[in-house]
Amino acid sequence: MRELAEGLTPPVAAPTWRGRLSVLRQILFRDWSTGVGVTVIALFILIAALAPVLMSHDPWMINHRPNGSIARLDAPSRAHLLGTTDLGRDIFSQVIVGARAALLVGFLAALMTTVVGTTVALVAGFFGGWVDDVLMRIVDVAYAIPFIPFVIVLVSLLRPSIWNVIIAIGLLFWRSPARVIRAQVLSLKERPYIKAARVAGAGPWRIIFQHIAPNILPLAMLYMSIEVGWAIITESSVSFLGLGDPLVISWGTMLNLAFTTGAMQRAWWWVLPPGVSIILLVVAAFLVGRGVEEYANPRLRGEI
């Protein structure tokens, strides 16, 4: 009788995009730490959007003191809330503008790596065979390439640009989501509802994007939240090494100029604001990632 009842139990429907996104929204705002992360990121986005209004000076302008001399390394004051650089440029305005570069690199690079990695994982895991072998060998090659030398070669062949940094991150960092999500796809494609979709005549691409993709969305979102933080750190590191775009003000570029001019130890107001901004944004991305990890792992939600 029990076996009969189990046999008559209707199969669980495949998750939909709308259902997955609804669960994600609930989780992101249920935990206070995740809410703090979302709030901090939203605050930085607001600062970047309102940069022309919030800036007190032109970030490139060389400011002067009342006596006409250049305001070199002036400490924080009413005239310059976070002091000035060795060229008399306003640090507060540069930190505000630098938020744009950090968010641009963070979100675009994370989106690129997640989309590429997830697509490769879906195709490799679903089709298997020689397709899987070829794509996974490409992943192995991507793991073997060291990032910093790769960026140096890319910048040498092209030119220092924030877009080249984004491209460099996108070309290498998709490897991790591709490998992990592929393992999930290999499991999902054997589920009963996938076999039912095949029997019903659904084509491979319909099965991939309508039935499998919603299931790996939690993992994809988890990797995207992680990659945002890594992309911000990577851009700051590359700019600190002098490989960033000299025409774009970023927090990494600010730290690079403070280091090369020897102001690291005698002008804390030049180092602390961009450094704290990087830490706040990366920690916020980590906190959001914790919430998304709960979304990606049913065990953490108490569903298993």
Task: Give the C-alpha separation, 273 to 263, whole Å.
Answer: 14
Q: Which of the two residues, 33 and 107, has the higher pLDDT score?
A: 107
By three-state DSSP, how is residue 90 classified? strand
Task: Give the C-alpha separation, 16 to 9, whole Å.
Answer: 21
pLDDT of residue 296: 59
Residue with tokens 């490897």: 175
pLDDT of residue 23: 58
Query: Taking residues 171-189, what's their average pLDDT?
Result: 88
E runs forming strands in the chain: none
What average pLDDT does the structure give for the chain? 83
What fold is seen in the domain 18-54+99-250+274-296?
A: MetI-like fold (1.10.3720)
pLDDT of residue 11: 42
Q: Is the pLDDT of residue 139 over 80?
A: yes
Q: Is the pLDDT of residue 295 over 70?
A: no
Task: Give the C-alpha separation, 176 to 172, whole Å.
Answer: 9
Q: Is the pLDDT of residue 5 over 50?
A: no
Query: pLDDT digits over 195-226, tens only?
Result: 888 888 778 888 888 888 888 887 888 888 88
Task: Give the C-alpha separation, 210 to 215, whole Å.
Answer: 9
pLDDT of residue 282: 92
Where is mean pLDDT largest: 32-41, 115-124, 214-223?
Answer: 115-124
Where is mean pLDDT largest: 106-115, 257-266, 295-304?
Answer: 106-115
E runs forming strands in 231-300: none
Q: Is the pLDDT of residue 22 over 90?
A: no
Give residue limits of the domains in the chain. Answer: 18-54+99-250+274-296
Query: In sequence order, what DSSP letters do the residues of 269-287 get, joined into one string?
Result: HHHHHHHHHHHHHHHHHHH
Q: Which of the two residues, 172 and 33, has the higher pLDDT score?
A: 172
Cβ contact 106:231 at 8 Å: yes
Can you read off the two tokens belonging to residue 167? 């491209």
The angle, 0 to 180 degrees and rounded to 10, between the axes of the packed helices 268-296 and 32-49 is 130
pLDDT of residue 7: 40
By three-state DSSP, how is residue 70 classified? strand
